[in-house]
Chains A and B, each alone.
Chain A
Amino acid sequence: MTLVLAIMLPLLSAFLIPFFHLARKTLSAGLISIMGLASISAALAAAYTGWYSPAVSLMGGWAPDIGIALVGDRLSSAFLLLTSIGSGAALACALEKFGGGPWRFYALFFLLLGSMNGILLTGDLFNLFVFYEIFSVAAYLLVAFSMSWQALEAGLKYLVLGTIGALFILLGTAFTFMATGVLNMALLAEALASIPRETLTAISACLVLGLTIKTGAFPVHFWLPDAHSSAQTAVSALLSGVLIKVSIYALMRVCYIFFLGTNGTVFLAITVTGSLSVLGGHLMALRQDDIKRLLAYSTVAQIGYILIGIGCASAAGAAAAVFHTFNHMLMKMGLFITAGNLSEEKGTREICGLTGLWKSHPVWVAVFAVLSAAIVGIPPLNGFMSKWFIILSSAGAGTVIPALVIAAGTVISAAYYLRILSAFISPGEGSSSGLPPSVPRKPRRRSISFAIVGSFALLCLVLGVMAFSPFFRECFSSIGQTAVDVEAYVGLVTGR
């Protein structure tokens, strides 16, 4: 029941918000926060259930082979926790910035939240596609929400590429259904073992391509930098921190359940894509002048790290990928919120214009420094630990190239984050651009944003140190174990 609530409550909120708007004309921030809290606590309750007693909930009481099953196990719980933290933070930032005004924004936000929880909980391939589409439509609209031409162009490109990705997912689903006659993922895990090799190749190519487009990995990443850099700050943080992670979850779940025992080449393809993403993303980020675009390309590279972890096709690799997913959520949301606020203060997003901030906003710059040290991978922060785990698991898979790619990527990322930080610290006041010195504005108070960003930075340190503790290791390796243990998943759903 908690599983259903985690999906229904946000969808209900999304449905109710327009009516509240019609009835009251103004929407209070308090109401939104109550809805947000209710949705998030429902998601957390589902995560709790899934963690301690993996649960299956059959919709309408139909058997798994006909009806839709919702499955909550440790992998979904971990991602539910991630989306709850991330979307809670984004909601708080949005509330602080917009208040309760833009009801459309919040309706879309809750739609997104509900569909994300749906993706994380569903155990049915077609249902996954449906939730994915709801999720994508909400995401396109949120990207374009500010209606500036950049946002619209980014939204359109995201939409076209995203729709192509969705088409491939749908095609893969259709092939799967034609080959086996079932759509329940647990039943498919058994059925796919006995279908012809060529069919399996077509299915895996379609599903992997579609999901890779949605994750924004390198050769098909084109929508990601546009969308993440053109949206508003809170949305950018949400996109980079949470939405991508949901796609990562879908890729992980589908690939591990369907192809772990049947088609090992899928994981080779994922590893290659990951390595390309690391190099391409970092190199492109090095060339950027716009700070948000730089952070977006950095996301492409970080996705690459996660894909390398997934591509190891082992429990350790999955655990490392999930750990890096968590860390990247913390680091990149923090970086986007910080960068967004600082560039709003200075009125520019060009890195060379963001000078003198060490004088005016020392704490923000300090937080940015901690977060970027974490994302570069300075020990003992969390980014270093998760990269180390990824290197370990890829070495365990017997290859050395991804690890060396990660090492090279670290150096490149150190280069561009140092560039940003040295711009922040350099004193140059307005003289460089030839513009008249900006009018001294009263700095806006952003205490909630700062509290969020600061606690994320603190968490980066805490997680990095915690990674040494056996308890923590136990938690993450059990997530990895759940991800690759297909038999347990099948047993859970079919009740055998």
Chain B
Amino acid sequence: MMFDTAHELFRIDTFSMVMSALVVFMTVAVSIYSPGYCEERTTFRRAVFYGAPWLFCLFSCLGVVSGSWFMFTISVELSSLALFFIILLQDPKAARLYIFSQLLGAGFLLTGTALLGALTGATAIGPVPGDILWLFLTGLGFKAAFPVLHFWLPQVHGKAPTPASALLSGFAVKIGVFGIARLVSPDTGTVLPFLGSVMAIYGVGQALLQHDAKRLLAYHTVSQLGYIVTALGAGTSLGIAAGFFHTVAHALFKGLLFLSVGTLEKVYGTKDLDHLGGAARELPLTFSLFLVGALAISGFPGFSGYASKAMVKAALYEIPNPLWYWALQAAGVGTVISFCKVGYFAFIRERDPGLRPHREHMPGGRKDLMRNTGMALPAAATLTLGIFPGFFAGLGGLESNSLFGMKDLLPAAATFALGISLFWILRKWFGSGKHEIPDIDTLISKGSRLSAPVFSILQSMNCGLLRFYIVAVVAAGLALMFLM
């Protein structure tokens, strides 16, 4: 019981193969991009910057092919640790927040695993009994950014170095989703679509209000994860395949978007949408790559996001409740608006005259070339998957042509029309001042003051007074006596 038997050490199927291929692809893209981004001075720090993504890749691959929850948790933990080191280079506070949240998630997962072992005698990866499901969902929820448990995500994605953000959004959160996909059973059918819809709407709502481009993208990660979780919640094989398709598609285009914002950050020294602008003229190639990502995430036909969202919706037709479907449609409109916002404010309108581009990062240099090459890989994959979605459609038992029917094209067009016109009406409002709704992370940092009384009680217990110690010992003795 203490260990898993050998036959459940690995579990390799189509999904884990696809996920492994995805993480290797993303790491290659990021590694090509990194030389254009890295400005670390010492050899040690550079080694961490270039080496940690590959460690992450290794442990993630181990995680997705592992056959028991125990191995899965360990591998995922180690992959988080690899990312922790690369975030540590840029922002120790965000790095600590990241590792603490991940450790807590792993604690829940391990507790769940232990209970699973105690109940069933095995810890093979797969659906779990309903009464310990909450431990698994909480543990994976820390990774997959379930509502409330997502407190770490915007801050960490916003502060991390861009290659780390791309990997975080591209793959680290997807491991959580992968775990949830392994959990899918009739028990999860009620809770997952609800959580997913809440994530989709809430993420997009917060994203609309952000001015920091990376934070905006981070909230979009929450929103897109909502699509995936809803699809998984459908519980059918089509739902799971749709979830996987959107996982892969989202990894590619969100990685691409993070990398393009990273380029802006390097060239202009800021990622604040209030100051940026005019990048379309100065960085045409970056703009076109950004456009690929933005169109894909908004679901424009011909890009991967369209096909995967169409498949998610096809999966939702199969379950009776139409509420989830409309929630995702609304989130789709929000996505269009917020990417109009990024495109308009960062690339099209006139920028803050005080902002000057750094010369060594401008097109023509080696750094720009490395960055654009790194971004071209996911962009190409996004286009390919958008035009030929046959592989993933086949996993769900669909024809790839069926994704391009009028039933899907019309809502997509309507979403686009609605989103763009709403943005045009609201663009003055977006451009003016800060509109913020405090998220759970500010609430948590305020709430941490509540722990002060606990500390003061503990502090006053260890007061150095021997007489108090003796009284405490006697009290403990009496308590023990009564307890027995």
Seen from chain A, the residues whose Cβ lies within 8 Å of a Cβ on chain B are 156-157, 160-161, 164-165, 168, 201-202, 204-205, 208-209, 212-213, 219-220, 222-223, 225, 263, 265-266, 268-269, 272, 280, 283-284, 287, 316, 378-380, 384, 388-389, 391-392, 394-396, 398, 400, 403-404, 406-408, 410-411, 414-415, 418, 422, 468, 473, 477
Contact = CB atoms under 8 A, between A and B. Distances in A.
Nearest to B100: A411
B483 to A, nearest CB: 6
B115 A395 contact: yes
Interface in B439-459: 454-455, 458-459
Contact of B81 (A213, A223, A378): A378
B1 A392 contact: yes
Given A220-B476, A225-B462, A395-B114, A266 B484 contact: yes
B114 A391 contact: yes
A156 B469 CA distance: 13
Contacts of A283: 454-455, 458
Nearest to B74: A379
A269 B480 CA distance: 7
A311 to B, nearest CB: 13
B425 interface: no
B2 A157 contact: no
Given A201-B484, A205-B484, A213-B473, A418 B111 contact: no
Given A213-B473, A219-B472, 5 more contacts: A168-B477, A283-B458, A378-B77, A389-B2, A411-B104
20 contacts: A156-B466, A160-B466, A164-B470, A168-B477, A204-B484, A205-B484, A208-B480, A266-B484, A388-B110, A391-B114, A395-B114, A395-B118, A396-B118, A407-B104, A407-B111, A410-B103, A410-B107, A411-B100, A411-B107, A418-B99
A392 B115 CA distance: 7
Given A398-B118, A410-B103, A205 B470 contact: no
B92 to A, nearest CB: 7
Nearest to B459: A287
A265 B484 contact: yes
Contacts of A266: 484
A173 to B, nearest CB: 16
B481 interface: yes
Given A157-B469, A265-B483, A410-B103, A287 B111 contact: no
Contacts of A378: 77-78, 81
Contacts of B476: 209, 212, 219-220
A392 B118 CA distance: 8
A407 B92 contact: no
A403 B110 contact: yes
B389 to A, nearest CB: 38
Nearest to B115: A395
Nearest to A396: B118
Contacts of A473: 2-3
Q: Which 3 A-B pairs have the closest CB atoms?
A: A407-B107, A395-B114, A403-B111
Nearest to B95: A418
A68 B305 CA distance: 79
Given A220-B476, A414-B100, A468-B3, A392 B114 contact: yes
B108 interface: yes
A404 B111 contact: yes
A407 B461 CA distance: 24
A383 to B, nearest CB: 13
A271 to B, nearest CB: 11
B123 to A, nearest CB: 9
A443 B115 CA distance: 51
Interface centre among A222, A284, A287, by most chain B C-beta atoms within 10 angstroms, is: A222
B114 A287 contact: no
B138 to A, nearest CB: 10
B275 interface: no
Contacts, number: 129
B135 interface: yes
A400 B107 contact: no
Nearest to B107: A407
Interface string B86-111: 00000010001001100110111011
Contacts of B99: 414, 418
A400 B111 contact: yes
B363 interface: no
A400 B115 contact: yes
A461 to B, nearest CB: 14
A364 to B, nearest CB: 17
A415 B110 contact: no
B117 interface: yes
A161 B96 contact: no
B117 A392 contact: yes
B114 A407 contact: no
B458 A284 contact: yes
A204 B461 CA distance: 26
**Best-buried of A156, A208, A395, A398 by chain B (most CB within 10 Å):** A395
A311 B454 CA distance: 26
Contacts of A422: 92
A254 B385 CA distance: 67
A398 B111 CA distance: 11
A480 to B, nearest CB: 10
A265 B107 CA distance: 27
Contacts of B480: 205, 208-209, 269
A263 B484 contact: yes
Contact of A209 (B74, B110, B470, B477): B477
A400 B100 contact: no
Nearest to A259: B484
Contacts of A316: 1-2
A280 B481 contact: no
Contacts of A403: 107, 110-111, 114-115
Interface in B399-454: 454
A265 B481 CA distance: 11
Nearest to B475: A219
A67 to B, nearest CB: 32
A414 B466 CA distance: 31
A468 B70 CA distance: 12
A250 to B, nearest CB: 17
Nearest to B454: A283
A398 B117 CA distance: 11
Contact of B96 (A213, A222, A418): A418
A287 B455 contact: yes
A473 to B, nearest CB: 6
A468 B117 CA distance: 17
Contacts of A389: 2
A407 B472 contact: no
A268 B484 CA distance: 9
A487 B476 CA distance: 32
B121 to A, nearest CB: 11
Contacts of B77: 378-379
A407 B484 contact: no
A194 to B, nearest CB: 18
A220 to B, nearest CB: 5
Nearest to A384: B74
A222 B455 contact: no
Contacts of B461: 222
Contacts of B78: 378-379
